[in-house]
Amino acid sequence: MKRSRVEPADTSASGLPAARRWLLFVHQLPSHPSNLRVTTWRRLQQIGAMPLKQAVYALPDTAEAREDFEWLKTEVKAAGGDATVFAAANADAWGDDELIEAFRSTRQTSYEALARDVEQALKRSSPGRRRRGTRAPAVARLLGIFKERLEALERIDFFGSGGRDRVLTVLRQLDDRAAGSGRPVRDADPSGGRRAVVGQGRVWVTRRRPGVDRMASAWLIRRFIDPDARFDFAADRAGVPEHAIAYDMFDVEFSHHGGNCTFETLCSVFGLDDPVLPRIAAIVHDLDLKDGRFGAPECSTVGAMIEGLQLAYPDDAALLERGMTMFESLYRSFERSERSRRGKGP
């Protein structure tokens, strides 16, 4: 089942987001059958529920979450147990920010574990180790398993956790390995050196809960590529309308390629040569891929601002617009510095 994005919280009279609504699942299980406890725990893990205390779990209040909890309640009661589902403005002693961070931290740990597993498969399938390592058909099977794990994680990543983009990068490398039977990882420029052209006023679709790469890429698209661009969100590539352009999703043209993030790919594919862009690209790359390639000194500040925006704006569209405004401000500041450096005045 595909997840829709987490809907925005109501706003208070002050205009600030009011308390987010949560769904709480409280259950009591009988001693028999003995496997019911394990089965219930596994199901709660699959739907991404966060444990608050013994036998109490939380999810963001969405239609899909309510359906998941109601199905589980039916299963528990059918087995002789008891369960209740109710909505709450807050979750016991947990504050909204604290609970959101718990969701993000849990998902990030899962993304990191998946990335390590993919990296191990890459090492075993390297050309120099092919005879002793993983053969091409086995690599293809592993790739399918890893993609399924990624899709399962994406369905329960309600708040845009870190670590997913690293998984995308190594998955694409493994995809190349499986498809090419030893072919080197594709170049960072999927266009083969051509300068891409798209129509104006297109709908560009990305994943929900935008972070640094999706914010910066959306700003780049509207600033340099498609001034009338409109933006929307989908859970994955399959949810992108036929007329729309997908970006920062797995296995699409405008996404991670080689060791580059989506922002860098867009700069390369569209031949953007503004002198300020490499400085912004360095920040986006280091924050997104967390490999420290450029050592951009602004990373900690920009990262903190993005985290604050994600906490302040539960609505994806509002969050993306604020992120784009932030990158426009950053661009103008860097542009003035560049002019001063070249002696051209403000």
pLDDT for res 57: 94
Name the more confident of 90 and 189.
90
- Residue range 114-139: mean pLDDT, rounded: 74
- Residue range 228-248: mean pLDDT, rounded: 91
Match domain 22-88 to its CATH number in 3.30.70.240, 3.40.309.10, 3.40.50.920, 3.50.50.60: 3.30.70.240
- β partners of residue 232: 205
Q: Compute the distance between CA of residue 219 and CA of residue 262 in angstroms, rounded to an integer.
A: 12
Q: How many CA atoms lie within 13 A of 142 on its CB side?
A: 27
How far apart, in Å, are the Cα atoms of 229 and each of 49, 110, 218, 239, 247? 36, 34, 9, 19, 13
- Model confidence over 251-277: pLDDT tens digits? 788 998 878 999 999 999 999 999 999
Read off the tokens for 320: 């993306």
Q: At what angle do helices 299-312 and 212-220 cross, to 10 degrees?
A: 90
- Model confidence over 96-110: pLDDT tens digits? 888 888 998 999 999
- Total residue count of the chain as it appears in this document: 346
Cis amide bond preceding 33, omega within 30: yes
The single-letter code of the amino acid at 142 is: L
Name which of 15, 7, 305 is nearest 159 in CA terms. Answer: 7
User: Where are the chain's structural domains?
Assistant: 22-88, 97-180, 203-341
Contacts of 177 (CB under 8 A, 6+ apart): 122, 125, 126, 136, 139, 183, 185
Q: At what angle do helices 299-312 and 277-289 cross, to 10 degrees?
A: 70
- Model confidence over 64-81: pLDDT tens digits? 899 999 999 999 999 899
Across the chain, what does the average pLDDT equal?
A: 83
pLDDT at residue 166 above 80?
yes
Name which of 1, 2, 52, 64 is nearest 234 in CA terms. Answer: 2
- Residue range 209-217: mean pLDDT, rounded: 94
What sign has the CA pseudo-torsion 199, 256, 139, 134?
A: positive
- Residue range 55-59: mean pLDDT, rounded: 93
pLDDT for res 160: 79
- Residue range 234-251: mean pLDDT, rounded: 88
- Residue range 136-142: mean pLDDT, rounded: 78
- Residue range 40-45: mean pLDDT, rounded: 93
pTM above 0.85, yes or no: no
pLDDT for res 292: 86
Read off the tokens for 133: 């390592």
